[in-house]
Amino acid sequence: MAMMKIYSHKLRALLYTRPFHSVSSRSFSSSSFENVGFIGLGNMGSRMADNLLKAGYKLTVHDVNCNAMKKYSDMRVSTKQTPFGVAEASDVVITMLPSSSHGGNILRPRLLIDSSTIDPQTSRRLSASISNCSLKEKRENWESPVMLDAPVSGGVVAAEAGSLTFMVGGSEDAYLAAKSLLLSMGKNAIFCGGPGNGSVAKLCNNLAMAVSMIGVSEALALGQSLGISADVLTKIFNSSSARCWSSDSYNPVPGVMQGVPSSRNYSGGFASKLMAKDLNLAAASAEEVAQKCPMTFLAKNIYREICKDAHETEDFSCVFRHYYSGKNEHNW
């Protein structure tokens, strides 16, 4: 709760100076968002920012990492030493932060698009808090600022390719106004309903992804122990009822599939510590609404154990190696 209050306060601080166009008018054009602020230039955020530059947006950026800032400064992109500075130069600010505790002294734009993964309860409280703010200047029918929670799916590869899927919660009119901006960074933008529903969709997606990866890893490790190769068993999965993303697109066994984290010692993917964080958020959300979610808690404990064993930076598919003691394919 204390962390939510800190995050809420800092997001509100960002939103007090710049005017907002009326989202109730669906003629709100993408040209209103020519000046885009971006806060959070990590593995995901930097690639999203790069795609905004390619799309022709005028970008102003901030990150706590000086090297990340230098990269953009060298590209003649405007950099600011504080999130507040970004907000002052921007019509809309996008945040891509590891968690709510990384909020910094954020923002004062017309629209805040938070692509971080936080719990839906916090998203809803922030949205309500922000909507109660007053803008220093008003234009058209806008009386208050608006927040969209817009977490993404697809990982670093999709961020670089501009093929992310955005799951968007908040005002539908704000979503429609921001859609072209989102599609400069992704191939899909799906409206999920009211405030917090984007965060709900993200947590549920990652929960299903974690459970799927655990199930596939368990089955492949068992198959190896019983004498069948993971390559053969994967072919069976992918031509029958066990087929899923974890088997046919992101296989966890080193040597079965090229171009995935398992083929490069589980580097360069979605870190296990981030999966553990998302599962913690899902578990907390389940408890808050008294929903039975035994698989959530089991998956959370498995990834917590992996992180405690010093594998937190490895891709979450490393559950195959570090929890199930699965083996590489012999021909790898």
Beta bridge partners of 112: 93, 147
**Residue type for 156, please?**
V
* Helix%, strand%, coil% for the chain, nearest 5: 50, 15, 40
Angstrom distance (rounded) from CA 63 to CA 43: 12
Phi, psi of 129 (to 5 degrees): -65, -45
Give the number of residues written for the chain: 332
Angstrom distance (rounded) from CA 79 to CA 316: 33
Give the sign of the dihedral formed by CA 51, CA 56, CA 62, CA 66. Answer: positive
Could you please report the per-residue DSSP string of 267-319?
Answer: -SS-BHHHHHHHHHHHHHHHHHTT---HHHHHHHHHHHHHIIIIITTSBGGGH
202 tagged catalytic:
yes
Angstrom distance (rounded) from CA 104 to CA 82: 8
Cα→Cα distances 68→14, 146, 225, 231, Å? 22, 28, 45, 40
Q: How many CB atoms lie within 10 A of CB 61?
A: 29
Angstrom distance (rounded) from CA 310 to CA 197: 33
Give the sign of the dihedral formed by CA 98, CA 100, CA 102, CA 106. Answer: positive
Look at strands 164-169 and 152-153 and give their pairing. Answer: antiparallel
Catalytic residue among 80, 202, 277, 300: 202
Which helix or strand (DSSP H or E) is residue 169 part of? strand 164-169
- Active centre residues (catalytic): 202
